[in-house]
Amino acid sequence: MFKNLSLKNRIALFYSFTFSIVLLIIFAFIYYTVNYGINKTLYEILKEETNHHFDYVLHEPTLEHYVHPHEWEEVEHTDVALNPVFIAIYNQEFQLVENSPNLVQNKLEWNKNQKENAPYLANYNTVELLISQTKLIHHGEVVGYLVVGVSTKHNQLALGYLKTGLMIIFPLSIVMIFISARLIAGQSTKPVFSIIKTAKKITENNLSERITLPKNKDELYLLSITINSLVGRLETQLQKAKQFSADASHELRTPLAVVKGTLEILIRKKRTIEEYNEKINYTLKQVERLERLVEQFLVLSRVENNSIELKPSTFEVKNEVLKSIERFQVFLEEKQISVFTSDICTHSTENFKELFEIIIDNILSNAIKYSNLKGKITVSSFIKNNMYFLSFQDNGIGIDEKELQMIQNRFYRINTNSSPDHTGTGLGLNIATQLANISGIQLKIESQKKIGTIIFISLKLK
């Protein structure tokens, strides 16, 4: 049942329950403190009255009176209604000698079963009395017996009124604290309902919605920031997924269309072996382009989803550069491009070898792609301040200043109208840039139109 209640009702009940326990403890403390004070006062009155008569008899030169002549004129000995004190005095034979005027009916008897000066409770004419009894001594001899009683009626009435008042106040206080706690809880949980309302608005098509931050920087403020941050990350990931899907669809469509169109042309009529070979070779190039495109998409996906396993290792920079050049030897020979590597320093470093290979391959691939026939690529390096600086320079078509600012964006390709053979996906430099950021490698591009491009990379040495 408690679980089915709303949050503000649960909070209100929790506070009411806690408050009721605290209130019970406070009320019990008040009641027992007052009760203790009243009883202590009664005992003090009883003791004072007993000592007064005991001392009077003890110090009298001759025993003419057991009581001071004006004693019975005091109000507490004549009145029954207002704080009465009852006194009865017996001689040595336990015969009543004197008693206070307010003992109008029965007398206070000496109780042989009770100890001296040990107060006890007894009833006198339906009035409860606190009684104490003691021997009266004159010159070392027991001359009589004193019985003193103090009424507890007014004290019991006061305690009764206090108890009744507390019993009335207790439930009323619980009801009031429940109502107050419910109102406060309602105000306190308003930001929660605001969060819920905003969260309901957040959908796949509306991830730009954000929760309004509360004014107070409390737990709800931190929760709102956390949810906004989570939604922001979801929005980023969804945008990446949509962008990836759109980019993949866009980039794969062209080579697939070329392959499909070429094959359709081949089956329309019989052709010579040379024609078949030409079309098949052309189709194979498109398939290779598709393969490279898929590989680069997979790398890009792994980078953006942080699924690349990064394991630093020690490797020699020059060896990796030479291996990359060897991998592109066929393309270099096809365009008759010369590569100069005499100025590469031999030195080891500790970094992510697999990522470094992809970065070098993409830079070299771009240099070959945009170099002119019989062009030249120069790879050189130098070491300074424990940093390894490596550069790739070509004398190709170059990039103008406007395009240079966007060349590292995904799928951006420079204007190649003057050179239609320069085809690509626009992913190479974007992948190289992202992997360089992951590896802590700095990458910089400088270029001039129709003069060439130079790409600098720098990384820390081992």
Residue 85, strand partner residues: 150
Identity of residue 154: H
Residue 122, strand partner residues: 129
Could you give the angle at the alpha carbon of 197 between the alpha carbons of 191 and 202, nearest 5°?
125
H or E stretch including 232? helix 219-268
Closest CA relative to residue 445, chosen from 454, 433, 436, 437: 454
d(CA 143, CA 58): 10
The pair of three-digit structure tokens given for residue 7, joined into one six-digit string: 């949050």
Residue 381, strand partner residues: 390
pLDDT at 3: 63
* DSSP secondary structure, 427-459, as one string: -HHHHHHHHHHHHT-EEEEEEETTTEEEEEEEE
The pair of three-digit structure tokens given for residue 340, joined into one six-digit string: 């100069």
Query: Taken in order 236, 241, 242, 248, is the CA torsion positive or negative?
Result: positive
Centre a 10 Å sphere on the Cβ of residue 58 and count the other Cβ atoms it contains. 14
- Residue 322 phi, psi (nearest 5): -65, -35
- Beta strand 442-448 with 120-124 is unpaired
- Residue 448 phi, psi (nearest 5): -135, 140
- 3-class secondary structure, 112: coil
Closest CA relative to residue 231, chosen from 207, 212, 213: 207
- Beta strand 338-343 with 376-384 is parallel
H or E stretch including 380? strand 376-384
Contact indicator for 456, 441 with CB cutoff of 8 Å: no
- Region of 215 on the Ramachandran plot (φ > 0 left; ψ -120 to 50 alpha; else beta): alpha
Q: Which residues touch 458 (CB under 8 Å, ≥6 apart)?
A: 387, 388, 389, 390, 441, 442
Centre a 10 Å sphere on the Cβ of residue 305 and count the other Cβ atoms it contains. 12
d(CA 174, CA 171): 5
Where helices occur in 269-313 by DSSP H, the ranges are: 273-304
Identity of residue 379: V
Contact indicator for 49, 149 with CB cutoff of 8 Å: no
Q: Which residues touch 405 (CB under 8 Å, ≥6 apart)?
A: none
d(CA 159, CA 412): 92
Closest CA relative to residue 363, chosen from 340, 395, 338, 394: 394
pLDDT at 263: 81
Q: Spell out the per-residue pLDDT of the chain, length 462, in tens.
A: 556 777 778 788 888 888 889 999 999 999 999 999 988 988 998 888 888 888 888 888 777 677 766 666 665 665 555 668 888 889 888 888 888 887 766 678 888 888 988 999 888 777 788 899 999 898 888 889 999 988 888 888 888 899 899 899 988 988 898 888 888 877 777 777 777 777 777 776 677 777 777 777 777 778 778 888 887 777 777 776 776 676 666 567 767 777 788 788 778 888 888 877 887 887 887 787 677 667 766 766 666 666 666 678 899 999 999 988 888 887 788 889 999 988 899 888 888 887 888 888 888 888 888 888 889 999 999 999 989 999 999 988 877 666 655 555 554 455 554 444 444 445 667 777 878 888 888 888 888 888 888 989 999 886
Centre a 10 Å sphere on the Cβ of residue 178 and count the other Cβ atoms it contains. 18
Closest CA relative to residue 248, chosen from 321, 300, 309, 202: 300
pLDDT at 128: 85
pLDDT at 376: 92
Identity of residue 236: T
pLDDT at 407: 55
d(CA 237, CA 223): 21
The pair of three-digit structure tokens given for residue 76, joined into one six-digit string: 């507490």
- 3-class secondary structure, 138: strand
Residue 343, strand partner residues: 380
Q: Which residues touch 169 (CB under 8 Å, ≥6 apart)?
A: 27
